[in-house]
Amino acid sequence: MAATIIDGKALATQVKAQVREEAAGLPRKPGLAVILVGDNPASRVYVTSKRKDCEECGFLSEEFALPATTTQKELLSLIDGLNHRDDIDGILCQLPLPQGLNEREVLLAIDPAKDVDCFHPYNVGLLTIGEPRFQPCTPGGVMEMLKTYGISPAGKRCVVLGRSNIVGKPMALLLLHAHGTVTVCHSKTPNMAELAAEADILVSAVGKTGLVTGDMVKEGAVVIDVAMNRNAAGKLCGDVCYAEAAEKASFITPVPGGVGPMTRAMLMRNTLTAARMHLG
């Protein structure tokens, strides 16, 4: 049976339309500040997309493009200023930072009430105990996709490939809170293929083209591909061998057009949540 393709692009458009409508009812526009240090080309693309998303949602957006030579002190001083601005609800510092800058210190400097990425340890703590104010954007987007397509993780075997702070770990937590039985695989897992093949819901967030082959997908599994890789021909692709996996999966996300647009839509929703919080 052919897999149903989960249309992240269409769903993201719906989420953003709803965010726009809700934002229009607030006494002022939600405001998002995006900081980009250095000239990582992928980061540049993400930041431009975020500006477009803000326009679509009727938000105020401010972009701070800083040179790679920016010092830690300068970056912290910019964040401190943004923390104190009443018209800025969300602050996002695009990662990775250029060498020499301390990422941990930067994430700690962002006011947790403006941490729309949900990267501050305070917000990670709230997420861990199951009381998040903000949804981590990529895993939150995945949960929204599952919900929309009527897929409940409750009682299901969920296998997450990758244990990053941005995706793998928070993804595992959200699936756990949704009552899934969760296994996290990583570079030291000796039997990743075997564990993946047991999954009812398989989420791959490793960043390795061709990692998930058809034999790692159980018949009828839901396959979510979070990765954004470039293959040898320079084409955007995920971790999953799409054609092979789609033959066995019940639902599958494409790359591009799957998780990526949902991540951005969730950032807009978090910024709206932050604005509501700040407006009381």
Q: Which residues bind ligand GUN (CB under 6 A)?
A: 92-95, 117, 137, 166
Which residue's Cβ has the minimum distance to ligand GUN?
95
Q: Is 94 a catalytic residue?
A: yes
Q: Output the smallest distance, CB 159 to ligand GUN, in A.
A: 22
Indicate which residue of 50, 114, 156, 218 is catalytic: 50
Indicate which residue of 16, 94, 218, 239 is catalytic: 94
Q: Output the smallest distance, CB 105 to ligand GUN, in A.
A: 15
Which C-beta is closer to ligand GUN: that of 183 or that of 270? 270
Of the candidates 102, 100, 51, the residue with the CA atom closest to the CA atom of residue 76? 102
Q: Is 99 a catalytic residue?
A: no
Which C-beta is closer to ligand GUN: that of 137 or that of 199? 137
Element of type H or E holding 158: strand 157-161
Q: Output the smallest distance, CB 91 to ligand GUN, in A.
A: 10
Q: Output the smallest distance, CB 125 to ligand GUN, in A.
A: 19
Which position has the token pair 């995706």? 167
Which C-beta is closer to ligand GUN: that of 117 or that of 225? 117
What token pair was written down for 249?
A: 């999966």
Which C-beta is closer to ligand GUN: that of 138 or that of 183? 138
What token pair was written down for 237?
A: 């692709």
Buried b (16+ CB within 10 A) or exposed e, 69-85: ebeeeebbebbeebeee
Distance, CA of 81 to CA of 102 (rounded, Å)? 19
Long-range contacts from 124-127, C-beta under 8 angstroms, 24+ separation: 124/165, 124/170, 127/170, 127/173, 127/174
Q: Is 235 a catalytic residue?
A: no
Among all residues, which ones are annotated catalytic?
A: 50, 94, 117
